[in-house]
Amino acid sequence: MFANYLIGLREGLEAALVVSILVAYLVKSDRRHLLPRIWAGVALAVAVSLAFGAVLTFGPRGLTFEAQELIGGVLSIVAVGFVTWMIFWMARAARSLSGELRGQIDEAAEGSRWSLVIVAVLAVGREGLETALFLWAATQAGTRDAGGVAAPTWQPLLGAALGILTAVALGYLIYRGAISINLSRFFTWTGAFLILVAAGVLAYGVHDLQEARFLPGLNDLAFDVSDTVDLNTWYGALLKGIFNFSPATTWLEAAAWLLYAVPVMALFVVGVRRRSTPTPAAPARAAV
């Protein structure tokens, strides 16, 4: 539940920041009459995201077990790709996001009536679609018992909803000037945590592909600690709910986790250190 809360909080805060920047810039530039277009774009983006989530949830029903597992595995891998791109993009663009959005507003305000609506849809809709896809993948992986049987639960969705509500509240407080947070530091810590969450989703996506008979090695276990780690205990539920830990892990699942988590985390840390290192000033020229 905490992992889903964090996903909702991070993605929701990104969207809330985008909306607050758009609204604040229009208000400060005395263009309040354009605000309904922003809110129309936000509403359209939310509707598209909810529809996408509904398709993911109800679309595969009625298919064979192998087909459902194949779709689930492929979408889990796609979700990991999207969230990985999002983590690196947001860590890099957090400082320049405001300026980019203001430039887009100025261009859209001079265009057609739908230009600002499209700006809001693209800015918020991207976050919504990524959230729907990654939450679906994380929820699918996190709602299986030790035997791999689906056990749908409302807890992941509740966690995500609470995270989004928290993000909306923070976005409003930031807009009103009530609080100020270090966005670079926030996206750095949450990005590192989500890399571990994404690694678990990727591993379970591989497991789905194995159950769909698309990948081999379903019975080739790297380790089996089912007798030691009980998913019904609080710590077992915590490991499963946050990191999608599986007590019985195949070699392919373990390899996918390691081949993703280690290099991606290393690249992320190197990028963070590079951006945090001040650029040395150019040496002054000697007077002639």
Residues 6+ apart with CB under 8 A from 246: 203, 204, 207, 240, 253
Whether residue 288 lies inside any domain: the answer is: no
Q: Which residues pair with 249 in a beta bridge?
A: 223
How does the average pLDDT of the chain come out, rounded? 78
* Residue 227 pLDDT exceeds 80: yes
* Residue 116 pLDDT exceeds 80: no
Whether residue 103 lies inside any domain: the answer is: yes
* Residue 114 pLDDT exceeds 60: yes
Whether residue 115 lies inside any domain: the answer is: yes
Whether residue 160 lies inside any domain: the answer is: yes
pLDDT at 246: 84
**Would you say 201 and 78 are in contact if contact means Cβ atoms under 8 Å apart?**
no
pLDDT at 262: 95
Which residue in this structure is represented by tokens 């380790």?
223
Number of domains in the chain: 1
- The Cα-based distances of 12 to 18, 188, 227 in angstroms read 10, 16, 39
Q: Which residues pair with 248 in a beta bridge?
A: 224
Query: Rounded mean pLDDT of 270-288?
Result: 64
* Residue 287 pLDDT exceeds 50: no
Q: For the segment 18-38, what is each residue's pLDDT rounded down to a tens digit? A: 788 778 778 877 888 888 888
Q: Which domain does 103 fall in, by range?
A: 2-276
Q: Is the pTM of this model over 0.85?
A: no
Who has greater pLDDT, 67 or 152?
A: 67
Whether residue 135 lies inside any domain: the answer is: yes
* Residue 265 pLDDT exceeds 90: yes
Whether residue 20 lies inside any domain: the answer is: yes
Whether residue 116 lies inside any domain: the answer is: yes
Query: Is the CA virtual torsion 119, 122, 128, 131 positive or negative?
Result: negative
pLDDT at 139: 67
pLDDT at 112: 65
pLDDT at 181: 67
Whether residue 58 lies inside any domain: the answer is: yes
* Residue 249 pLDDT exceeds 80: yes
pLDDT at 117: 82
Query: Rounded mean pLDDT of 104-131?
Result: 74
Q: For the segment 171-184, what is each residue's pLDDT rounded down to a tens digit? A: 888 777 766 667 67
When pLDDT is cut at 50, 70 and 90, the band that residue 99 belongs to is low
Query: Rounded mean pLDDT of 207-212?
Result: 90
* Residue 195 pLDDT exceeds 60: yes
Query: Rounded mean pLDDT of 86-105?
Result: 70
* Residue 146 pLDDT exceeds 50: no
**Would you say 120 and 45 are in contact if contact means Cβ atoms under 8 Å apart?**
yes
